[in-house]
Amino acid sequence: MSFDLQAIPVDPAASADLAAQQLEYRVLDPADTTALDAWIQADVRGFHHSRPRPPELEYDRRVMAERRVQGVYDAAAADPITPVATVSSWPTGLSVPGGRSVDAWAVSSVTVAPTHRRRGIARALMHGELANAQHAGAALAVLTVTEATIYGRYGYAPAAQAATVHVDRRRAKWIGPDAPGRLQFVEAASLREIAPALARRAVARTPGEVDRWPGLLDRVLGLVDPESDSARAIRLVRYDDEHGQPQGFVAYRVQRIPDEPGELQFDFLAAATDDAERALWRFLVEQDFVSGVRGTLRSVDEPLHWLLEDPRAITMSNVVDHLWVRVLDPVAALTARDYGTPGTLRIHVDDPLGHAAGRFDLTVGDSGRAEVERVEADAATSTRGVRGIRLGVRELGAIYLGGVRASVLARAGRITELSPRSLALTDRMFQAQRTPQLSIWF
């Protein structure tokens, strides 16, 4: 998807809802730095972050220049220049089973000032973003959440979990295979040149990952404010395969007090091959003078448990829903991914907001590729011998990447089996070779 994000028309329904409360729904011009800086201040305030220092503010400006940025303004407020609500969004590729991607609409920066809560502002923003996504031609919308009780009402559902992994260094004896390549420390500037291509290859391996935008890599590598204490603490290690080709990297830091072992912490590891993933994990868990290793936003299905002699050296905490998916175009979404077994399944989708409602025949061949056809309600199609399920758009989003089994949702009363063995077929079809994961916030 390539187009002028600012040219998407403001959703008239959302604009009218807000105007009824004397609030203005506005798209920002990235070149208007005064308005953009005020928007950024409102955004960081909404997430309880500190006011950005000049390098951080300049970084935020660069990031937001690549997004569609919208704010809600109250002309009667003491500070009418600063919005009372914010949202940003942009088109992105979402990796799906089969090593492919689907056009998605990423939604971020959703805040409402505490002074303006419970006035339907968030509802207007979320409906507006669904309209933006459809205007952009996205098959689905995606977001990460700080609160899990808000977004289901707009058709989103958790589709990929994430966890914090802790490793007790004293008990971490490696029993996995040796990697054929080599590890080496590198500087941020040199790694920045190859990081985008490496990250893209790493993303393609796992369902649920999204494209890495340039600003994210600048932050991960400590290039936003290189002289800050946090940036100076970052160490970067690259893995090259036996042919000398870079295949992965990790950014980490060690938190410690004087004369005591520290804790190695990382929140970004990109591996384009299994060898790279194993080599980087081994590097992390075999560090000297650290008591443990802590990695955030890791997969709930890490191979690390099978690479250490004592799997109890590993504990997982903060296991949470992380990536939320909202299907908008079932035909495009279901066609984009590969499936685990051949077969034909009729899927009845209920969507209170109307975006994805309908009946769809999903036919998967021996190759795992699918054809999807919308079945009109008045079509004289026989259902004899056709396996089928009925589910809501939230449940479709939950099973889409293979992280949630349809049979589990049926046990919870969330999916209805319309013919015998349909759930078993759905489970087999929607299974993914790799557990879905999203390893970043956005």
238 occurs within a structural domain: yes
pLDDT of residue 384: 65
Q: Clarify whether residues 17 and 85 are in a common domain.
A: yes
Q: Clarify whether residues 203 and 340 are in a common domain.
A: no
146 annotated ligand binder: yes
331 annotated ligand binder: no
Residue 289 annotated to the active site: no
Residue 151 annotated to the active site: yes
Q: Clarify whether residues 308 and 353 are in a common domain.
A: no
Burial status of residue 62 (CB atoms within 10 A of its CB: 0-12, 13-18, 19 or more):
middle
Q: Clarify whether residues 301 and 389 are in a common domain.
A: no
Q: Clarify whether residues 208 and 303 are in a common domain.
A: yes
Q: Which amino acid is at 5?
A: L
347 occurs within a structural domain: yes
363 annotated ligand binder: no
pLDDT of residue 385: 73
111 annotated ligand binder: yes
442 occurs within a structural domain: no
DSSP string, 232-285: HT-EEEEEE-TTS-EEEEEEEEEE--TTS-EEEEEEEEEESSHHHHHHHHHHHH
120 annotated ligand binder: yes
Last residue of a domain, one of 272, 293, 321: 321
112 annotated ligand binder: yes
User: Measured between alpha carbons, how far is 280 from 248 in angstroms, rounded to an integer?
Assistant: 8
Looking at the DSSP bridge assignments, the partners of residue 70 are: 27, 87
Q: Which amino acid is at 13?
A: A
pLDDT of residue 358: 98
Q: Clarify whether residues 204 and 126 are in a common domain.
A: no
Number of domains into which the chain is organized: 3
User: Measured between alpha carbons, how far is 141 from 356 in angstroms, rounded to an integer?
Assistant: 12
Helices (H), 175-213: 188-204
User: Measured between alpha carbons, how far is 141 from 133 in angstroms, rounded to an integer?
Assistant: 7
User: Measured between alpha carbons, how far is 341 from 429 in angstroms, rounded to an integer?
Assistant: 5
- Tens place of pLDDT per residue across the chain (442 aa): 667 999 999 999 999 999 999 999 999 999 999 999 999 999 999 999 999 999 999 999 999 999 999 999 999 999 999 999 999 999 999 999 999 999 999 999 999 999 999 999 999 999 999 999 999 999 999 999 998 999 999 999 999 999 999 999 999 999 999 999 999 999 999 999 999 999 999 999 999 999 988 899 999 999 999 999 999 999 999 999 999 999 999 999 999 988 899 999 999 999 999 999 999 999 999 999 999 999 999 999 999 999 999 999 999 999 999 999 999 999 999 999 999 999 999 999 999 999 999 999 999 999 999 999 999 976 545 556 789 999 999 999 999 999 999 999 999 999 999 999 999 999 999 999 999 999 999 9
Q: Which of 25, 73, 151, 156 is catalytic?
A: 151
144 occurs within a structural domain: no
Which residues span the domain enclosing 340? 328-430
Tell me the pTM: 0.95
pLDDT of residue 234: 98
Q: Clarify whether residues 262 and 182 are in a common domain.
A: yes
Q: Clarify whether residues 354 and 404 are in a common domain.
A: yes
Alpha carbon separation from 95 to 164, 214, 327 (Å, rounded): 22, 18, 14
| Per-residue exposure over 12-40, b if at least 16 CB sit within 10 Å of its own CB, e if not | eebbebbeeeebebbebebeeeebbbbbb
Burial status of residue 238 (CB atoms within 10 A of its CB: 0-12, 13-18, 19 or more):
buried
Looking at the DSSP bridge assignments, the partners of residue 363 are: 344, 371
**What is the H or E stretch that residue 62 is in?**
helix 54-64
* 3-state secondary structure (DSSP) of residue 104: strand
Q: What share of the chain is helix, strand, coil (3-state, %, to 5)?
A: 30, 30, 35
Q: Clarify whether residues 197 and 112 are in a common domain.
A: no
Q: Which amino acid is at 222?
A: G
358 annotated ligand binder: no
315 occurs within a structural domain: yes
235 occurs within a structural domain: yes
Q: Clarify whether residues 307 and 246 are in a common domain.
A: yes
CA atoms within 13 A on the CB side of 322: 24
Q: What is the CATH number of the domain that holds 64?
A: 3.40.630.30
DSSP string, 309-365: S-GGGEEEEEEEEEEEEEES-HHHHHHHS--SS-EEEEEEEE-TTSSS-EEEEEEE-
Last residue of a domain, one of 257, 291, 321: 321
User: Measured between alpha carbons, how far is 112 from 116 in angstroms, rounded to an integer?
Assistant: 7
176 annotated ligand binder: no
Contact 285, 245 (CB under 8 A): no
Q: How many residues does the chain have?
A: 442
Q: Which of 268, 360, 430, 442 is catalytic?
A: 442
Q: Clarify whether residues 301 and 380 are in a common domain.
A: no
Alpha carbon separation from 131 to 52, 135, 327, 354, 393 (Å, rounded): 31, 6, 13, 12, 16
441 occurs within a structural domain: no
119 annotated ligand binder: yes
Contact 406, 425 (CB under 8 A): no
48 occurs within a structural domain: yes
User: Measured between alpha carbons, how far is 168 from 187 in angstroms, rounded to an integer?
Assistant: 28
Last residue of a domain, one of 267, 291, 321: 321
